[in-house]
Amino acid sequence: MGLRSLIEGLSTNERKLLLALREGKVDVAEVARETGLDQSAIMRAGLGLAGKGLAEISEFKRFFVSLTKEGKTYAREGMPERRMLIALAEGGHKTLNELAAKVAISRKLAQIALGWMKQKGWVEFSKEAGRVKLGITKAGEQALTQKFLDEQLLEKLAQVGEAPLEELPPELKSAVDRLKWRKLIEVEAKAIRAISPTDLGRQAISLGIELVEEVKGLTHELLTSGRWREVRFRKYDVVAPGAPVYPGKVHPQQQVIDELREILLEMGFAEIKGRAVESEFWNFDVLFQAQDHPAREIHDSLSLSRPERTRLPSVALVKQVAAAHEHGVAGSTGWGYKFNIDISRRPVLCSQTTAATVRYLASHPKPPVKVFCIDRTYRHDKVDYKHLAEFYQCEGIVMNPRLTLRDMFGYLRQIAVKLGLPKIRFRPGYFPYTEPSAEADVYFPEKREWLEVLGAGIFRPELLRPLGIRHPVLAWGIGFSRLAMIRLGLEDIRDLYNNDIRWLRTQRMI
């Protein structure tokens, strides 16, 4: 693009700024005073010129001196030591209290002012009738006819508002530290942005920059008056980079949950919800998990002190579950101990979403059943890079006559394919309430390794018979946290909850 074409493409503000750079480098505040534009408009124009190679933007710090609230009072009414000196010259020797009352200041402030008067040599002390009185010295008399540097600096700042520190006269600079220590002035560092023309920008200025009226769009007035023929329409660079925008969006982990939920709904599953607080009956007993099983101890499940007890389902169902534990069903010998209903009533934080799916089975014992649950579960785990005390689980069940483990593998393979993980392999596994059981490994190309993310099996008769179910029930669970970590590129499970705003902003929608 030729230089003339480049100039033709400049906006009105860019032209004004380029003209303001005729003399070389200027700061944004100066340009604002010259052009009447606000500083944000100047910076936008400067960025536009910089993008076209016509200008350069630099930034540096400058220190500015301004009055504090107390400093403004002293600049207006006079410094307290000056006022006390005048009062002392007018009325002769006085005590400190008399002097403070005459100039209408507090005794505390009068004592501070007296200290400065002594330091400047304006006052002398004498004793009359056992009272200490103050008198003016020759230096004090001379001070009445002249203003000291402190006072000069206060007056100057009262006039200009604030002044660049480096532009103060050398004699006034010497008063800055003293007044700053007295908290009468403050020195603030400000970032100053300056714009200077490049060689190309100087060439553009030498060719001549013409200012024409520029409008952003057609209006009714422009059309009816015919002025649209005379004005210049603003050109927009549609590929120019804009400021980053961070709109509200769904949390990355919730995106993975929603993706998995959509997949399961598409496959014909219905969603059910679990409970945060469960009884040990639904969390363990119904799953044919022995009441003295180690998982019930404090190192795994989380017990609650309130409520002290939970309500159990029908007496008949509790008796059938108790019988399965004590004597077994369908050829099983059970656990061979006395079932304790008080243990069943104890409340715990739900440690597995299987409690939700089995609750559903108990109220829907007839096929077909095809449901899933994605919910939070809680365990007394030590928190580290791969364990949390609170985490999500995803679990599903399918009940229908003549279902086999082969059908289960078909469901799991379909879920993995829809998640974009077509390579899956199965191997024998063990779970307390399924038999046979299998575990599924999925190959992740990013990590170049197989990772276990799925577990599955067919519910045991000891679980199903007490519920009145005579058909096979396929059950599967997904290690959701591990899946989410891999999908989001995380190495530490705690990063899912650390509220790192930078990480949240840069995560793309799945």
pLDDT tens digits for 119-148?
Answer: 888 887 777 777 787 777 788 778 777 888
Q: Which residue has the higher pLDDT, 154 or 470?
A: 470
* C-alpha triplet 78, 83, 85: angle, nearest 5°: 135
In the predicted model, what is the mean pLDDT of the chain?
A: 84
Q: Which residue has the higher pLDDT, 88 or 278?
A: 278
| pLDDT (0 to 100) of residue 73 | 82
Provide the 10 A C-beta neighbour count for residue 221: 9
Q: Could you give the C-alpha distances from 248 to 498, 501, 504, in angstroms and in order? A: 18, 12, 10
Q: Which residue has the higher pLDDT, 404 or 24?
A: 404
pLDDT, tens digit, 9 for 90 and up, residues 324-376:
999 988 888 899 999 999 999 999 999 999 999 999 999 999 999 999 999 99
Q: Rounded to an integer, what distance in angstroms lies between the CA atom of residue 510 and that of residue 508?
A: 6
* Selection from 14-18, 96-100, 449-453 with the highest mean pLDDT: 449-453
Q: Which residue has the higher pLDDT, 235 or 501?
A: 501
Q: Which residue has the higher pLDDT, 155 or 232?
A: 155
**Can you spell out the DSSP letters for 38-106?**
-HHHHHHHHHHHHHTTSEEEEEEEEEEEEE-HHHHHHHHH--HHHHHHHHHHHH-SB-HHHHHHHHT--
Examine the pLDDT at 468 and tell me if it is beyond 70: yes
Q: Rounded to an integer, what distance in angstroms lies between the CA atom of residue 386 and that of residue 439?
A: 19
Where residue 297 falls among pLDDT bands split at 50, 70, 90? low
Examine the pLDDT at 2 and tell me if it is beyond 90: no
Q: Which residue has the tokens 């700061």?
A: 27
The CATH architecture assigned to 254-506 reads 2-Layer Sandwich (3.30)
For 300, what's the count of Cα atoms within 13 Å in the CB-facing half-sphere? 11
Average of pLDDT values for 456-463?
93
| pLDDT (0 to 100) of residue 503 | 84
pLDDT, tens digit, 9 for 90 and up, residues 161-213:
888 888 788 888 888 888 888 888 888 887 778 888 888 878 877 887 777 76
Average of pLDDT values for 462-474?
94
Indicate the class that CATH gives domain 69-182: mainly alpha
Helical packing angle, 107-120 and 80-91, nearest 10°? 80
pLDDT, tens digit, 9 for 90 and up, residues 223-233:
888 888 877 77
Q: Of 5-14, 290-299, 460-469, which gets the smallest average pLDDT?
A: 290-299
- Print the SS3 string covering 419-439: CCCCCEEEEECCECCEEEEEE
| pLDDT (0 to 100) of residue 322 | 93
The model carries a pTM of 0.56
Q: Which residue has the higher pLDDT, 270 or 100?
A: 270
Examine the pLDDT at 483 and tell me if it is beyond 90: no
Tokens of 312: 């159990």
- Find, among 356, 395, 390, 386, the residue nearest to 376 by Cα: 390
Q: Where are the domains of the chain?
A: 69-182, 212-243, 254-506
Residue 488 sits at φ, ψ, to 5 deg, of -100, 0
| pLDDT (0 to 100) of residue 325 | 94
pLDDT, tens digit, 9 for 90 and up, residues 440-459:
988 888 778 888 888 899 99
